C-alpha cells in the first residue's frame, strides 16, 4: 500500500494519497483548492532512532576514501 506525496502547483499545498491496490481508482485533485495540477515529491523517511539500550539500528563506523563512513543496520525482516 504505497503512500504518495504531492505538491499542488496552484496553491503549493502538500498532500498524500494512499493507493490500496493496482486496480484502485483514486481521485487525483488537491484537497485544499481542488486543482488537478500537481507534482509528486520525494517523501522523507519516518523512522526514529531510539537512545542507547533500545532495539534500534546498530551503527558501524569505518574509514572510507572520502573520510569516515557509517552504516546503519536497521531492525526488521531480512529482504
pLDDT in tens, the chain (79 residues): 577 888 999 999 988 887 777 777 777 889 899 999 989 887 666 555 555 555 666 777 777 776 677 777 766 666 5
Residue 32's region, left for phi above 0, alpha for psi from -120 to 50, else beta, is: alpha
Q: Which residues pair with 6 in a beta bridge?
A: 15, 40
Quote the CA–CA distance of 42 and 18 in Å, as a whole number. Answer: 15
Cβ atoms of 48 and 75 within 8 Å: the answer is: no
pLDDT for 47: 57
Domain ranges of the chain: 3-41
Cβ atoms of 19 and 5 within 8 Å: the answer is: no
Amino acid at each position: 500500500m504505497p503512500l504518495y506525496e504531492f505538491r499542488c502547483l496552484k496553491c503549493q499545498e502538500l498532500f498524500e494519497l494512499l493507493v490500496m491496490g493496482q486496480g484502485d481508482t483514486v481521485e487525483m485533485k488537491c484537497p485544499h483548492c481542488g486543482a488537478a495540477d500537481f507534482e509528486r515529491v520525494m517523501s522523507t523517511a519516518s523512522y526514529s532512532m531510539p537512545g542507547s539500550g533500545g532495539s534500534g539500528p546498530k551503527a558501524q563506523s569505518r574509514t572510507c576514501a572520502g573520510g569516515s563512513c557509517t552504516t546503519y543496520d536497521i531492525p526488521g525482516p531480512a529482504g
